[in-house]
Structure 1
Amino acid sequence: MKHYRMSLLASLLAANLFGCQVQSGSSHNAPQATPAPVALLQQQALASDLGYSLVESLTVEVGPRLAGSDKDLVAVEWAESKLKELGFDRVYKEAVQVPAWDRGEAKASIVAPFPQPLVITALGGSVGTPEAGIQAGIVRFDSLAALQAASEAEVAGKIVFIDQKTERHITGKGYGKSVGGRSQGAVEAAKKGAVALVIRSIGTDHDRMPHTGMMHYQDDISRIPAAAMSAPDADLVDAMLARDPHVVLSLKMSPSSQGFATSYNVIAEVTGSSKPEEIVLLGAHLDSWDQGTGAIDDGAGVAIVTAAAKLIQDLPQKPARTVRVVLFAAEEIGLLGGKAYIQAHKQELAKHYMAAESDFGAGKIYRMDVNVAATALDEVKALAAPMANNGVAFGDNGASGGSEVSMLPAQGVPVASLRQDGTDYFDYHHTPNDTLDKIDAAALAQNIAAYAQFAYLMADSRLQLRPILSQDVQE
């Protein structure tokens, strides 16, 4: 962390060069001048290696941290220790009950007409095969919708193969188009009598590494094993089916449920100077899948929001509102940490001024969208204008906030989405290839600068971001 601390004199000189303090006489809803700390935060973030040091520490000292596993608790201890070491005003954790699951082993091969081994992995939460495995013919579908439209006669007794490719986009929107096969495919296949489900990995790479990810069962439908196949193996199976429609797959998997375990949301706070009861929330998730080291998903997010809040913690004058960092538990298996947070903090959600979550790797942030009262949009745009110096344009009013934070708008909480370049994110997502070398330190620092600026601006803002309700209007 040798670059982390700048001299106070140099910092203040930089701030005076790049910004000016908010005028105390400005009206409640008037556009605000650029606060000096906004430029200072950018300069400090870009000169610091704190974020990279954090994600390096997490991936090396903890590594994969599947929710409910022993490593999950190691990650909780790591996070609590790091946050205290960084000197936040308050550090604490809140228990979250999570299902525990063990991946076991997964093997597959084509036994006829062209015998060859395949590379697969179990989908998260899958049941295993019988000990002897399953051997059955493959029936292929282009999408979940095609499977849903199929007859029972086409599917019964077979292994369903959903072969939907994931489109590459900077926004990652291709994932949303194809992920339904992973999450719901086993239920739809079992409804029609299938004995197992195999999907083309939900990814944009061509590596022989299968992508895992959570799948779901339905209580009144038989539970069948579910696996993902690497993209080259999916291509191989397609080529076989083009030659002979009667391709037989052998599948043997041993994942198992391990009951329930206790994990934790780990929380740190920078106490606001004049409105400490009001919250600007910065989120990321601490858990990861067990195949890689969880660097981009979501070690990068953990580092980004932690380092951003630390920069604000160390300012000579803290902003009005409290900046709260929440490292959520068990995001990968169903946003469980986010759901637990809403229950635990239900009484103070009305005091949550704004929230955002970093959970899309470490590609550069190019745009910020928000979800605020329409009447406040132009003022928020003016307030966020200094972020353009860090390459962040202002977008529109259609933000979800990301992952757990996406549940907060339903609770009335304004949110923002700081859009990252996700062009290659799904090359590595949920694979053994999710490792530290995929993170560019300069891009990570740009993310930290953007989150620090965003959090400070929101924490010191005078704008009314929520719609004014009739009961709030004074007669």
Structure 2
Amino acid sequence: MSRLPNDVVGEAYRSDVGWRLLEELVDLNNRMPGQAGEHRGAEYVRERFEESGLADVTVTEFPIPGWWRGECSLELHGRDPPQRFERSHELVELPGTPAGEVTGEIVDVGYGVPEDFEDLDLTGKIAMAYSLTPEDYGRWVHRGEKYGYAVEAGAEGFLFRNHVEGCLPPTGDVGKIDREGEIPAVGLSTEVGDRLLRYCERGNVEATLSVDCRTEPATSRNVEAAVGPDTDEEVLFTAHVDGHDVGTAANDNGAGTAIAVEAARILKRVEDDLETRVRFVVFGAEETGLYGSYYWSHTHDLERVKCVVNVDGVGYSRDLKVYHHGFEEIGEAFDAVADEYGVEIPSAGTIRPHSDHWPFAQRGVPAAQGVSVRDDDGRGWGHTHGDTLDKLDPRDLRELSILCAAGLARLAERDRPVEPVDEAEIREATEAGGYDVGMKAVDNWPWGDERPWPWRDELER
């Protein structure tokens, strides 16, 4: 089929199924990987798939290293009056950080790009890096990469200061794929970060960073269901149900999960017209290492996967953008949707190695990420206390769900091939974009002898 029928589109625009699921997800408060809220969120998704009448509804549990947040503080020495930051709107631990207490001089390393660490000796010091990347740098430098450079330079602690105003310290994983990070790390609000910068400009600032947390084995869950004929090939549409606990993870990625459920419901209504099976997979534990998508991609036959469309970072507008990683056929399918609906859906071949499409793309499986376009830099409210339901609009959710469902219907056409490539091509593109530098810095380079996820040896035996 090339078009969704008008009555199906009209009904979808009045549906509140996705929005009601989103409300239920944010009301769980905490969907950290491996914790009770994430498990319950997976059950909500399962229930919605079953209510929509989808086939092969399954929940699969898998092991992860769980991380639980405790208290943290940053105390400056030698100041009158004493300066101590410990409130939740001032700083917050970064998942994967080890517990510990360190004392040292705070050193601002600017944006924390590789050049900022050249010939820099941070032995015994606490590094502070900005959450943005310079606009003209050519690639985004991930938080984990900045953390890795600080460790390599000898730092004893790491401060990650936000660029988004509003007393919103950022969170985000800095752990290794199978263990904690090396040094205690916290996110700072813009306001605290600016204050520390002012102090540093006047002279040395010594501080004690204290972090209390714990890491122990846990389990996460993937939820999946299918619609359409039983074909050898399948189109995958994916999202992740987990989210950081400092907000309610409404946009990242409650919105993506809601869109997956709504798109599945839409395609169920045209199931008899689909030419290829479409499988919806809502992963767990994306935020702490893409565990769910790595687990799924290494326990299934990828030769059966025609292509993958992953939504993560959708919800702050109705303006869809598709990063197709050089798989032009995916972009062309959404170009056709854009023409049909009279909207712009820009696409780009940029490599994006930081969400659930990546375990597929790195192995040459055609894979894309859908995001919503906005004017501000970085992830906006995401990974902060501000990632709450009030920032989203049900009209955006409906329109994005319709556009995604329409794109999936086109990708499911038998006469629309999407060709895989040798993973060497993806490796070359990753290197050409400069992403290999950061991935190697955080032990996350997926080619060669490295084992950047915990199940490879077990599953390849």
Shared fold per TM-score greater than 0.5: yes
Q: CA deviation at 1:145?
A: 2.2
**Identity of counterpart residues, as a percentage?**
25
The answer on whether the counterparts of 1:355 and 1:401 sit within 8 Å (CA) in structure 2 is no
Q: Is residue 160 of structure 1 aligned with residue 123 of structure 2?
A: no
Q: Identify the residue that residue 412 of structure 1 maps to in structure 2.
A: 364
1:80/1:196 CA distance change after superposition, 3 Å: same
The answer on whether the counterparts of 1:295 and 1:435 sit within 8 Å (CA) in structure 2 is yes
Query: Of the candidates 88, 104, 114, which is equivalent to residue 145 of structure 1?
Result: 114
Deviations 1:129-188 (A, max 9, x none): 2xxx43322122112425531343xx22221222454569xxxx9996342xx3134443
The answer on whether the counterparts of 1:122 and 1:228 sit within 8 Å (CA) in structure 2 is yes
Q: Is residue 337 of structure 1 aligned with residue 292 of structure 2?
A: yes
Q: Identify the residue that residue 454 of structure 2 maps to in structure 1.
A: none
Q: Identify the residue that residue 421 of structure 1 maps to in structure 2.
A: 373
The answer on whether the counterparts of 1:68 and 1:262 sit within 8 Å (CA) in structure 2 is yes
Whole-angstrom CA distance in 1 between matches of 2:408 and 2:20 = 21
Query: Of the candidates 210, 235, 241, which is equivalent to residue 169 of structure 2?
Result: 210
The structure whose Rg is larger is 1
The answer on whether the counterparts of 1:387 and 1:450 sit within 8 Å (CA) in structure 2 is no
Q: Is residue 248 of structure 1 aligned with residue 211 of structure 2?
A: no
Whole-angstrom CA distance in 1 between matches of 2:371 and 2:124 = 44
Secondary structure of the corresponding residue to residue 413 of structure 1? coil
Deviations 1:89-130 (A, max 9, x none): 22002222111111111111323335333321111110112x
Whole-angstrom CA distance in 2 between matches of 1:429 and 1:44 = 30
Deviations 1:51-91 (A, max 9, x none): 2111112112x232111222222222222222222221220
Q: Identify the residue that residue 257 of structure 2 maps to in structure 1.
A: 302
Secondary structure of the corresponding residue to residue 125 of structure 1? coil
Deviations 1:316-337 (A, max 9, x none): 7340111111001110011111
Secondary structure of the corresponding residue to residue 183 of structure 2? coil
1:147/1:225 CA distance change after superposition, 3 Å: farther
Secondary structure of the corresponding residue to residue 124 of structure 1? coil
Q: CA RMSD in A?
A: 3.1
Whole-angstrom CA distance in 2 between matches of 1:165 and 1:268 = 37
The answer on whether the counterparts of 1:399 and 1:415 sit within 8 Å (CA) in structure 2 is no
Amino acid at match of 1:148: F
The answer on whether the counterparts of 1:113 and 1:247 sit within 8 Å (CA) in structure 2 is no
Q: Identify the residue that residue 462 of structure 1 maps to in structure 2.
A: 415
Whole-angstrom CA distance in 2 between matches of 1:263 and 1:95 = 6
Q: Is residue 365 of structure 1 aligned with residue 319 of structure 2?
A: yes
Deviations 1:239-273 (A, max 9, x none): 1122x221122322101212x1221111011132x
Whole-angstrom CA distance in 2 between matches of 1:186 and 1:464 = 41
Q: Identify the residue that residue 117 of structure 1 maps to in structure 2.
A: 84
Q: Identify the residue that residue 355 of structure 1 maps to in structure 2.
A: 308
Secondary structure of the corresponding residue to residue 403 of structure 1? coil
Whole-angstrom CA distance in 2 between matches of 1:355 and 1:328 = 13
Decide which structure has greater helix share: 1
Q: Tell me whether 40-49 or 93-102 shows the greater mean CA deviation.
A: 40-49
Q: CA deviation at 1:387?
A: 4.2
Q: CA deviation at 1:417?
A: 3.7
Amino acid at match of 2:206: V
Amino acid at match of 2:95: G
Q: TM-score, normalised by structure 1?
A: 0.78
Q: Identify the residue that residue 234 of structure 1 maps to in structure 2.
A: 193
The answer on whether the counterparts of 2:238 and 2:283 sit within 8 Å (CA) in structure 1 is yes
Whole-angstrom CA distance in 1 between matches of 2:330 and 2:43 = 40
Q: CA deviation at 1:342?
A: 0.8
Whole-angstrom CA distance in 2 between matches of 1:402 and 1:156 = 30
The answer on whether the counterparts of 2:175 and 2:181 sit within 8 Å (CA) in structure 1 is no
Whole-angstrom CA distance in 1 between matches of 2:336 and 2:193 = 49
Q: TM-score, normalised by structure 2?
A: 0.81
Q: Identify the residue that residue 30 of structure 1 maps to in structure 2.
A: none
- Structure 2 residues without counterparts, runs of 5 or longer: 423-461
Q: Identify the residue that residue 140 of structure 2 maps to in structure 1.
A: 177
Whole-angstrom CA distance in 2 between matches of 1:308 and 1:218 = 31
The answer on whether the counterparts of 1:356 and 1:402 sit within 8 Å (CA) in structure 2 is no
Q: Identify the residue that residue 439 of structure 2 maps to in structure 1.
A: none
Q: Identify the residue that residue 43 of structure 1 maps to in structure 2.
A: 10
Whole-angstrom CA distance in 2 between matches of 1:75 and 1:110 = 40
1:460/1:331 CA distance change after superposition, 3 Å: same
Whole-angstrom CA distance in 1 between matches of 2:413 and 2:29 = 36
